[in-house]
């Protein structure tokens, strides 16, 4: 069987969809040797001995490059004529030959259900094209039962072709030794951690307010808040709050970090604090549990699904609750029982399990 994957997200290392796409390609190549894998890229080849890369450059000045998506990529796929094409970024290829099976991956419905949290152009494109893409695709993969339920409630005609397969965790668990060169001015075990792009739905400005409360209550001048991720779309309000924050010298924005640094940060944090207003899955939640890092999560449906009883929860719009959860993690270290339970709960988040489950529906 020949599977082609539109792998554009691999060239954007700032979002969870990048981790998903890279992990999926490697999983198919590593665990399903009977499958021939082609990665359709924009600028660079995918580094894996079993993956053939085909480049489709983009020349449009427009961010979404409609000509490439609507004309160039479908033309290439029709020429390659794979058995299956997988689109991991919500925008399935149009104008394909009928005997090429299509798999569309849906990570969340932010542009549809919460357009205020999405780029205007992206939201408009999704609203116009997604219903038709979902009708034409043969299989829809979702990353959580929550996403699956949201999708079928919004588009009932999808119900018969959706499959939920949890993604895997890609970080190397051996890479946890503390490297002071990676994050200067930070003491292991004396910082809270947030991982992800800084954008409105991540609710990080409320985390800044909660951190202020914790600093005042503890009087710990060395206590830090590390925000591991890039500044993203519409982050102006966050920047304003940060500039006025009385403890802004205790808040560290790392930008994009390597997997090795991320593993180190999880391993030595007091807790991961993840106050998102909406997520489709939440890689940092699963990754942190895998590293036995306590997790403090907004009380939203998907986090209850992913973390179960292995986390502390707070109302995402209540800064006092968030601060209380952070104080509790400082004063009452989670027992080894809880962190071990969290570790074993992540056994279902492996790329081998993903690949085996995918093979059953290909």
pLDDT digits (tens, 9 = 90+) for 249-261: 999 999 988 888 8
State the pLDDT at residue 305.
97
Any domain includes 58: yes
What's the number of domains the chain is made of? 2
What pLDDT, on a 0 to 100 scale, did the predictor assign at position 231? 87
Residues 134, 62 share a domain: yes
Give domain status of residue 184, yes or no.
Answer: no
- Tell me, yes or no, whether 200 and 108 share the same domain: no
Quickly state the pLDDT bin for 121 (edges 50, 70, 90).
Answer: confident
* 197 plus 155 within the same structural domain: no
Of 145, 164, 183, which marks where a domain is finished?
164
User: Is the pLDDT score of 298 beyond 90?
Assistant: yes
Residue-level pLDDT at 92: 72
Q: Are 89 and 112 within 8 A, CB to CB?
A: no
C-alpha distances in angstroms, 352 versus 32, 57, 240? 9, 31, 43
State the pLDDT confidence band at 175, using cuts at 50, 70 and 90: low
- Same-domain check for residues 204 and 342: yes
101 located within any domain: yes
Task: Give the β-pairing of 51-55 and 271-274.
Answer: unpaired
pLDDT band at 66 (very low <50, low <70, confident <90, very high): confident
| Residues 264, 339 within the same domain | yes
| C-alpha 64: how far from chain center | 20
Q: In terms of residue numbers, what domain contains 299?
A: 191-348
CA distance 316 to 193: 16
Same domain, yes or no: 30 and 82: yes
pLDDT(14) > 70: no
Does 296 map to a domain?
Answer: yes
Is the same domain home to 204 and 160? no
What is the CATH classification number for the domain harbouring 318?
3.40.50.2000
- The answer on 198 and 118 residing in a single domain is no
**Residue by residue, what is the 3-state secondary structure of 262-324?**
HHHHHHHCCEEEECCCCCCCCHHHHHHHHCCCCEEEECCHHHHHHHCCCCEEECCCCHHHHHH
Which of 124, 148, 164 finishes a domain? Answer: 164
High-pLDDT (> 70) share of the chain, %: 93
Q: Which of 116, 147, 164 is the last residue of a domain?
A: 164
Which pLDDT does position 334 carry in this prediction? Answer: 62
Q: What residues are paired with 106 via a beta bridge?
A: 142
Q: Give the residue-averaged pLDDT of 329-354.
A: 81
In terms of pLDDT, which residue wins out, 211 or 331? Answer: 211
Give the ranges where the chain is alpha helix by DSSP (H): 16-31, 66-67, 73-80, 110-113, 120-136, 145-154, 204-218, 236-244, 259-268, 283-290, 301-307, 319-331, 336-345, 351-359
Answer yes or no: is pLDDT of 212 > 60: yes
357 in a domain, yes or no? no
The answer on 280 and 159 residing in a single domain is: no
In this structure, the answer to whether residues 117 and 255 fall within a common structural domain is no
State the average pLDDT over residues 168-192.
Answer: 76
Of the candidates 104, 77, 80, the residue with the CA atom closest to the CA atom of residue 90: 104
Same domain? For 151 and 10 the reply is yes
Residue 306, pLDDT score: 96
Does 13 reside within a domain?
yes
For the chain, the average pLDDT equals: 91
pLDDT of residue 13: 62
Evaluate if residue 123 carries a pLDDT over 90.
no
Tokens of 246: 């009385």
Examine residue 306 and state whether it is found in any structural domain, yes or no.
Answer: yes
Q: What is the pLDDT of residue 58?
A: 80
Looking at the structure, do residues 228 and 337 belong to the same domain, yes or no? Answer: yes
| Per-residue model confidence (pLDDT) at position 30 | 98
Tell me what pLDDT residue 274 has: 98
Whether residue 174 is contained in a domain is answered as no
Please, where are the H alpha helices in 137-282? Answer: 145-154, 204-218, 236-244, 259-268
pTM, full prediction: 0.92
pLDDT reported for residue 153: 98
Q: Specify the higher pLDDT residue, 108 or 237.
A: 108
- pLDDT interval class at 59 (50, 70, 90): confident
Percent of the chain predicted with pLDDT > 90: 71
């Amino acid at each position: 069987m020949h599977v082609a994957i539109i792998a554009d997200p691999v060239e954007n290392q700032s979002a969870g969809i990048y981790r998903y796409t890279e992990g999926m390609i490697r999983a198919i190549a590593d665990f399903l040797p009977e499958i021939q894998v082609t990665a359709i890229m924009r600028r660079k080849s995918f580094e894996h001995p079993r993956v053939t890369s085909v480049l489709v450059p983009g020349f449009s000045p427009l961010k979404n490059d409609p000509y490439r998506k609507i004309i160039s990529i479908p033309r290439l796929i029709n020429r390659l004529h794979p058995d299956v094409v997988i689109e991991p970024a919500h925008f399935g290829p149009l104008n394909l030959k009928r005997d090429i099976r299509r798999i569309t991956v849906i990570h969340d419905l932010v542009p549809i259900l919460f357009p205020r949290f999405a780029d205007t152009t992206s939201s408009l494109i999704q609203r116009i094209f997604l219903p038709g893409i979902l009708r034409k695709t043969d299989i829809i993969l979702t990353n959580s039962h929550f996403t699956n339920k949201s999708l079928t409630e919004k588009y009932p005609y999808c119900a018969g072709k959706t499959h939920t397969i949890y993604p895997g965790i890609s970080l190397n668990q051996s890479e946890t030794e503390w490297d002071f060169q990676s994050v200067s001015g930070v003491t292991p075990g004396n910082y809270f951690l947030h991982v992800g792009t800084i954008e409105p739905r991540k609710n990080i400005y409320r985390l800044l307010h909660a951190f202020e409360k914790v600093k005042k209550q503890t009087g710990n001048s060395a206590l830090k808040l590390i925000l591991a991720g890039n500044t993203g779309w519409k982050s102006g309000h966050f920047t304003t709050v940060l500039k006025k924050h009385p403890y802004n010298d205790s808040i560290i924005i790392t930008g994009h970090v390597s997997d090795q640094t991320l593993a180190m940060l999880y391993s030595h944090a007091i807790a991961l604090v993840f106050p998102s207003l909406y997520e489709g899955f939440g890689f940092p939640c699963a990754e942190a549990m895998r590293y036995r890092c306590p997790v403090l999560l907004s009380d939203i449906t998907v986090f209850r699904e992913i973390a179960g009883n292995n986390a502390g929860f707070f109302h995402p719009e209540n800064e006092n609750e968030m601060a209380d959860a952070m104080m509790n993690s400082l004063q009452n270290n989670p027992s080894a029982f809880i962190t071990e339970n969290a570790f074993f709960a992540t056994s279902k988040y492996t790329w081998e399990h993903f690949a085996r489950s995918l093979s059953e529906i290909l």
